[in-house]
Amino acid sequence: MHIVRKVTDDITWIGSDDSKVRTFEDHYPVDGMTYNSYLLKDTEKTVLFDTCDKSQNKIFLDNLKYALDGRKPDIIVVHHAEPDHSATLGFVMSLYPDAKIASSAQAKKMIEQFTGVDISDRHILLKEGTEISTGKHTLKFISAPMVHWPEVMMTYDSCDKILFSADAFGKFGSRNGKLFDGEVSFDSELENHRRYYTNIVGKYGTQVMSVLKKAGLLDIKLICPLHGYIWRDKISDIIEKYSKWASYEPEIKGAFIAYSSVYGGTQEAAEYLANKLSENGVDALIKDVSHTDKSYLISSSFKYSNIVIATTTYNCEIFETMNEFLSCLVSHAVKNRKYSIIENGSWAPAAGKLIKEKLDGLGGSEYVGNTVTIKSFPSDENLAELDKLASDIKSSL
């Protein structure tokens, strides 16, 4: 059994598609996941680029054997030592003991930590600018620390003009049998790309910008990531999105209203505000943080220019699920957003002040309008304050 596909005359996709898996990294909800691996069969050397997740061991090894067609890998390039791409490396190293392992110094340490095998006698050290000739192809290595771990390298193949981009330009979700970007609608997959990027590497915008700068100097015909589709037809579209995400520039001028509500009063305020914003021609999106996975909340926070935090006070603190979301905003370093606050509390509302303290550490945060303070359910006075807030948000766009 094998499932493979040609990428170019010399390079074959030998990855795997786990359409059963429902969480990535054991917590992000996904509808399947693709783990990409590629095999270069050149005139002098055979190179395997990365392996795959342990759940895909059988099909991956079948694909590798089939694509090798009697050859053996001379070099195994490990772009990224995270186990979703290297869990099967131990098996492959045992099957092909003569194959050299090419990676950064930090990846070597991680491979040894994960496999328990000292690979010093078969290791090729990759640094920024290292080149390896395999016959027709010359592979040039690019350091890409923190995209997504510190050991990450990318490879540029100057013969086929391919950038092997590690986790960058990947996505959540199954590939549904498709391999190239032109086989799917860009817009229909955009949330899978956004949610993947913002949650996995969203914090490391500076490092991503640095890699985008290096990539901008290359003549790229194909981008081969470790997840999702191979980019061929829409490279400029995805690079434009990455440039926005990495520089924390919102895609949409509008308001993402994140609320938590115990008995419905805060929900009413959030819905009143959304209605008023839409009436004023402002794009609004509402999500209940108590019933929405945080990965979707982070994705929406990267997408919108304005974020409205509407929540109750609970045990003299910010309501728990909202507190978790705000911690996520801080840990993902979502910068340059305009915040508005609606606080609720039946006897001692205090969430607004605590929210500001929590968001203080985020660079470029601004506050729009006055904090609206609700006691249990919105009063007529509150509705007037929400009207004013809608108007202030519109003016801030």
Binding residues for ligand FEO, per CB under 6 A?
80, 82, 84-85, 148-149, 167, 226-227
- Residue 114 has φ and ψ, to the nearest 5°, of -75, -35
Which CB atom, from 13 or from 272, has the smaller least distance to ligand FEO?
Answer: 13
The type of residue at 224 is: C
Beta-carbon contacts of residue 297 (< 8 Å; ≥ 6 apart): 258, 287, 289, 325, 328
Instruction: Supply the minimum distance, in Å, between the C-beta of residue 370 and ligand FEO.
Output: 42
Which CB atom, from 200 or from 255, has the smaller least distance to ligand FEO?
Answer: 200
Q: Strands 38-41 and 33-35, how do they pair?
A: unpaired
- The total of other beta-carbon atoms located within 10 Å of residue 105's CB is 11
For residue 160, count CB atoms less than 10 angstroms from its CB and return exposed for 0-12, middle for 13-18, buried for 19 or more: middle
Instruction: Supply the minimum distance, in Å, between the C-beta of residue 340 and ligand FEO.
Output: 34
Instruction: Supply the minimum distance, in Å, between the C-beta of residue 91 and ligand FEO.
Output: 18
Residue 69 CA to residue 49 CA, distance in Å, equals 17
Instruction: Supply the minimum distance, in Å, between the C-beta of residue 225 and ligand FEO.
Output: 9
Residue 7 CA to residue 5 CA, distance in Å, equals 6
Contact 222, 230 (CB under 8 A): yes
Cα distances from 55 to residues 58, 94, 254, in angstroms, run: 8, 18, 41
Which CB atom, from 80 or from 108, has the smaller least distance to ligand FEO?
Answer: 80
Instruction: Supply the minimum distance, in Å, between the C-beta of residue 25 and ligand FEO.
Output: 8
Which CB atom, from 167 or from 181, has the smaller least distance to ligand FEO?
Answer: 167
The type of residue at 69 is: D
Cα torsion 128, 133, 134, 136 to 10°: value is 120
Which CB atom, from 144 or from 289, has the smaller least distance to ligand FEO?
Answer: 144
Which CB atom, from 108 or from 227, has the smaller least distance to ligand FEO?
Answer: 227
Instruction: Supply the minimum distance, in Å, between the C-beta of residue 378 and ligand FEO.
Output: 44
Which CB atom, from 147 or from 255, has the smaller least distance to ligand FEO?
Answer: 147
Instruction: Supply the minimum distance, in Å, between the C-beta of residue 366 and ligand FEO.
Output: 32
